[in-house]
Structure 1
Amino acid sequence: MHAELASPALSPDLMPWLAGLAGLLIGVATLEGLAKTFIYKAAYDWRAYAASLADALLRRIADGLGLSLAVPVLAWVHAHRLWTIELAGPLAWGLLFIGQEFFYYGYHRAAHRVRWFWATHSVHHSPNELTLMAAVRLGWTGKLTGTALFFVPLVWLGFSPVAVLGVVAANLLYQFWLHAPWMPRLGPLEWVLNTPAHHRIHHASNPEYLDCNYGGVLIVFDRLFGTFTAERPDVRIKYGLTEPLHSYNPLRIGLHEWLRLGRDAWKAPGWAARARVLFGPPGG
């Protein structure tokens, strides 16, 4: 999930519903932890649960500040759009859905291959255990990095920013259940949809599984562009970052990669080298 992407202007009438939805998701994630602890007598990292909850609260505080690189650009592009596309039928909605899936794939791939975006997205991959609560650990610096700019082409073509970001938000909501590693495979649907089986591979830090399965609702763009990887029976999944983060401090979790990025940029010999640090691949 990448909630830093979804920031449409919301009616005050929607806020209680959204708060209720957030509470429902956290409640379901809590039930998963309780079931694992008391019914299945298995280990569950409740400190990681608390860290993810704290990260979500920090993100709400950051959102309240109203700081965003993308919002002014989206507004300007919308004012200079080529056409106005009314969402008056299934064809228009279908084009918007496929378009946002395509650009979401592009964003998500960049979030793993460009350090500027990885600095925020790494927070989502920092849990060393994949759980539903890990789905809400998204970092709180995303709006300052301009991640929503990946969807500018849809606004330029004529879709409204609110519609675009609303469909992206629905995409992200779909991804909540993908963080349940106990879900079984879904048969033929695995060819088209992003599923828990595909997404647990995306969260793996094994060398065999790095940088794959970037889709949101669909997995078809990974198959088209060669980034799809299936789970291998001979490779046991290891979750977390390639250099594991063992902190439960939400400030350290949210800023650890930014601090590393700033340190490496400071040490780089010259502006060209600094640009390569900022916009090159993690570990590159």
Structure 2
Amino acid sequence: MQNLHYIALFATVIVVAASMVEAFFLARKARKDGKAYQWHEMGLSLADMIGRKVMAFLPLSLATPIFAFAWQHRLFTVEINSALAVLLLFVGQEFCYYWYHRASHRIRFFWATHAVHHSPNELTLGTAYRLGWTGKLTGTAIFFAPLVYLGVRPEVVLATLSLNLLYQFWLHTTWIPKLGWFEYVFNTPSAHRVHHASNVDYLDANYGGVLIIFDRLFGTYVEEREDEPCRFGLVHPTTTHNVLVNQFEHWISLGQDMKNSGNVINAIGYLTMPPGWAPDGKGTTTEELRQQHAAEHEVAGAVGAR
């Protein structure tokens, strides 16, 4: 276990160092182009990482009781002692990660944390470790509990998830092009650029961690297009330099919507429906934004045909 802590520390140092190197190169390029590099974005990401390291010392995680219950009532006891067992664990974890990630975009309660990861208006390596301070409090461990229930030890599940997230570090770039056949099976920078884009055509797509096959299987894969450059950040962009605003603004807006909802049913709707949902059906969910977008194109096409 101590060795795992050393490995995690080493990985953190490498990740931060690589992101800083990229930041210096991007800042230099920005100066040549007569622009200012947004160093505060890197600052927010570093503050996020430090905050999560501090949170790790607090006994507030819902993963512990959820995993403990699942392990206590497990169906089997699985030993990861063969290539087949490793492969099955990898695929099973990817399946769970896909649904965790999809829920994080489609259920506002989970989105309140995950929106922090999507808040940067530029996609850089620093974005990879801006994950939000409140993840431990929202019970997302429930999405990985089936693996524990089947008999995989909780610490193995968590270690596998850490490796999944480590793989995703290199995906947060704009300077790596499409990678040919690799795009058909694995998550790539191109696929992940789409995931981080706020363009209407790109919303709620490409949820995979290491693999992209579950997106293809469940109809959420969207390919990056040359005629539609990715616009990064949230649908309603945030430009704050304040780490507390960055971390909690979505929780505050969720609380305000629930408070002003008028009744319990609407309050539950704000909590469990997708971001942008409104009880009168006039919100800004992905589906509603696409309907508006299609209507605007239809009007523009009709005007252009005159």
Return the match for 1:22 from 7, 12, 15.
12
Q: Which residue identity does 1:23 align to in structure 2?
A: V
Structure 1 distance, partners of 2:2, 2:254, is 38
- Corresponding position of 2:282: none
User: Secondary structure of 2:66's match?
Assistant: helix
- Corresponding position of 2:153: 160
- Corresponding position of 2:239: 246
- With structure 1 as the length reference, what TM-score do the two structures score? 0.94
Q: Which residue identity does 1:152 align to in structure 2?
A: A
User: Secondary structure of 1:107's match?
Assistant: helix
Q: CA offset at residue 31 of structure 1? A: 0.3
Q: CA offset at residue 39 of structure 1? A: 5.7
Deviates further, 35-44 or 225-234: 35-44
Q: Which residue identity does 1:124 align to in structure 2?
A: H
Contact map agreement 2:207 2:215 (CA 8 A) in 1: yes
Q: CA offset at residue 38 of structure 1? A: 2.7
Q: CA offset at residue 237 of structure 1? A: 1.3
User: Secondary structure of 1:123's match?
Assistant: coil
- Corresponding position of 1:120: 113
Return the match for 2:40 from 33, 47, 59.
47
Return the match for 2:208 from 203, 215, 220.
215
- Corresponding position of 2:26: 36
Structure 2 distance, partners of 1:154, 1:39, is 45
Q: Which residue identity does 1:263 align to in structure 2?
A: Q
Contact map agreement 2:66 2:141 (CA 8 A) in 1: no
Q: CA offset at residue 14 of structure 1? A: 3.1
Return the match for 1:69 from 57, 62, 84.
62
Q: Residue deviations 1:124-168, cap 9 Å, x none?
A: 000000000111111100010001110111111111111111111
Task: Classify 1:257/1:94 alpha carbon distance in 2 versus 1 (closer, same or farther; 3 Å).
Answer: same
Q: Could you say what the CA RMSD is over the residues aligned between the two structures, in angstroms? A: 1.2
Structure 1 distance, partners of 2:133, 2:88, is 30
Deviates further, 274-283 or 17-26: 17-26
Structure 2 distance, partners of 1:178, 1:49, is 17
- Corresponding position of 1:7: none
Q: CA offset at residue 17 of structure 1? A: 3.0
Whichever of the two has the greater Rg, that structure is 2
* 1:172 and 2:153 matched: no
Contact map agreement 2:258 2:270 (CA 8 A) in 1: yes
- With structure 2 as the length reference, what TM-score do the two structures score? 0.87
- Corresponding position of 1:269: 262
- Identity percentage of aligned residues: 50
Mark the runs of 5 or more structure 1 residues left unpaired by the alignment. Answer: 1-10
User: Secondary structure of 2:54's match?
Assistant: helix
Structure 1 distance, partners of 2:276, 2:114, is 15
Structure 2 distance, partners of 1:68, 1:227, is 30
User: Secondary structure of 1:64's match?
Assistant: coil
Structure 1 distance, partners of 2:253, 2:149, is 35
- Corresponding position of 1:144: 137
Q: Which residue identity does 1:15 align to in structure 2?
A: H
Structure 2 distance, partners of 1:134, 1:21, is 16
Task: Classify 1:115/1:39 alpha carbon distance in 2 versus 1 (closer, same or farther; 3 Å).
Answer: closer
Mark the runs of 5 or more structure 2 residues left unpaired by the alignment. Answer: 278-306
Deviates further, 204-213 or 263-272: 263-272
Q: Residue deviations 1:17-43, cap 9 Å, x none?
A: 322221111000000011122367355
User: Secondary structure of 1:244's match?
Assistant: coil
Q: Residue deviations 1:42-82, cap 9 Å, x none?
A: 55311111111111111111121121112111111101100
Deviates further, 171-180 or 62-71: 62-71
Return the match for 2:227 from 231, 234, 242.
234
Return the match for 2:2 from 12, 15, 20.
12
